[in-house]
Amino acid sequence: MNAPASWPVEPGCVTLLARAAELLGKARVGLLTHPAGVLPDLTYLADRLIDHPDVNVSALFGPEHGLAAQAQDMIAVGQSTYRGVPVHSLYGDSEEQLRPRAGMLAQIDLLVIDLQDVGARYYTYIYTMAYCLEACAQAGIPVIVCDRPNPLDGVTLEGPLLQKEWASFVGRYPLPVRHGMTAGELARWWSEQYGWPLELTMLPMRHWRRDLYFDQCGLPWVPPSPNMPALDTAIVYPGGCLIEGTNLSEGRGTTRPFEIIGAPWLNGRRLAATLNERELPGVVFRPISFLPMFHKFAGEPCNGVFVHVTDRQTFQPFCSYVELIAAARKLHPDHFAWRTEPYEFVADRPAIDLLCGSDRVRRHLEEGGEVAAITAEWERDTADFTTQRRDHLLAEYAPAE
């Protein structure tokens, strides 16, 4: 493990608050944020701006799960108020409601975005940010993005690139699954790449190094969504989220989502033994039994595995969970199935394909192929992405030591 930063990392919201009068002036301010939008002292940026004598917060915006992150995945969130300020939901019951509407933007002169991402292509907050950047560009509204750490470091890449035919709310742009960029870097890249005529102010972090995991930043972890309770969850998530594309439980309804995987019909001991024989780097699989309290198999006893990361530097989450899916299919061919229900407003393509960014992984597994046989494709993807992203990394962030 690399040494922690010699002083705590300061997220961009610290700069915003220190320069609030200068940066926000007399504008009617909109703020897109969620529970992880906190200062290092754990006070909410929303509260600090509402209480600021020189700031006029006229609207708040909430991404998937809502401003308070109370809603579970794929649950529509309605409009509300917070401390007398209207809260506009950017996750309703249709794809059109993922974007800010004209009436919402008419209430603001400037939009501040302060969202904690988790470094995986599927996590929807970066696409809510992108929709807001597009909409504000069209409306002539300036945007300030307060940057935050990528919890999984800003170096490591893994997984296939998204192909444009499989674009959705769990992947709009050609990123690998683990992209190694911050939300601020993505905002600047996309606005330049797609030519959005946007007045964008980036407030970078101070003291962040690209090799740092979140627990090396000196910042408190606040769950950015209901099933992201800890950094351990984020570390497995680039692989664990793939389970959503199957009929296996991804552990929602337990205390360790994405680390606990299983089903009532699964033989956890055989699965753990099969996977441990693969000697995958940085991970051990332990057979378990569990009882989900909600979501898949709610109230049904399940068997499965707990995914123990023993070395996060060598652990390959995407590859490891594809191996898990492949093993579960082979052990239980009469029970295992891909998810067929609509997923994030898409009904004409399987969820597993949307998550993988194409149908290559699914087709390869259905043909009985070994996971190792397609990892070379992912490595080519990440090599290409390394070149593509080079000019879009913020110079303010020190390279890995």
pTM greater than 0.85: yes
Residue 146 belongs to some domain of the structure: yes
Residue 101 belongs to some domain of the structure: yes
Question: Using alpha carbons only, what angle is made at residue 86 by residues 84 and 88, rounded to the nearest 5 degrees?
Answer: 155
pLDDT at 378: 86
Same domain, 261 and 148: no
Beta bridge partners of 89: 62
pLDDT at 126: 98
pLDDT at 375: 87
Measured CA to CA, the distance from residue 19 to residue 24 in angstroms comes to: 8
Same domain, 76 and 207: yes
Structural domain containing residue 340 = 231-379
Domain count along the chain: 2
Same domain, 108 and 175: yes
332 Cβ partners below 8 Å, 6+ apart? 265, 266, 267
Q: What DSSP line would sit under 17-61, residue for residue?
A: HHTHHHHHTT-EEEEE--TT-B-TTS-BHHHHHHH-TT-EEEEEE
Residue 5 belongs to some domain of the structure: no
Beta bridge partners of 171: 168
Same domain, 238 and 211: no
pLDDT at 71: 84
pLDDT at 400: 67
pLDDT at 1: 46
Measured CA to CA, the distance from residue 308 to residue 354 in angstroms comes to: 26
Same domain, 28 and 136: yes
Measured CA to CA, the distance from residue 176 to residue 163 in angstroms comes to: 10
Question: Using alpha carbons only, what angle is made at residue 16 by residues 51 and 195, rounded to the nearest 5 degrees?
Answer: 125
pLDDT at 379: 86
Residue 128 belongs to some domain of the structure: yes
pLDDT at 3: 53
pLDDT mean for each 10 residues of the chain (401 residues): 68 98 96 98 98 97 93 89 97 95 97 98 98 98 98 96 96 96 97 95 97 97 97 98 98 97 98 98 98 97 98 98 98 97 95 97 95 87 90 87 60
71 Cβ partners below 8 Å, 6+ apart? 64, 65, 77, 91, 226
- Burial class (CB within 10 angstroms; exposed 0-12, middle 13-18, buried 19+) of 322: buried
Measured CA to CA, the distance from residue 223 to residue 28 in angstroms comes to: 29
pLDDT at 389: 92
Residue 286 belongs to some domain of the structure: yes
Measured CA to CA, the distance from residue 36 to residue 338 in angstroms comes to: 32
Half-sphere exposure of 172 (CA within 13 A, CB side): 16
DSSP letter at 334?
Answer: T
CATH number of the domain residue 373 falls in: 3.90.1150.140
Residue 6 belongs to some domain of the structure: no
Same domain, 23 and 97: yes
CATH number of the domain residue 169 falls in: 3.40.50.12170
Measured CA to CA, the distance from residue 121 to residue 379 in angstroms comes to: 16
Residue 244 belongs to some domain of the structure: yes
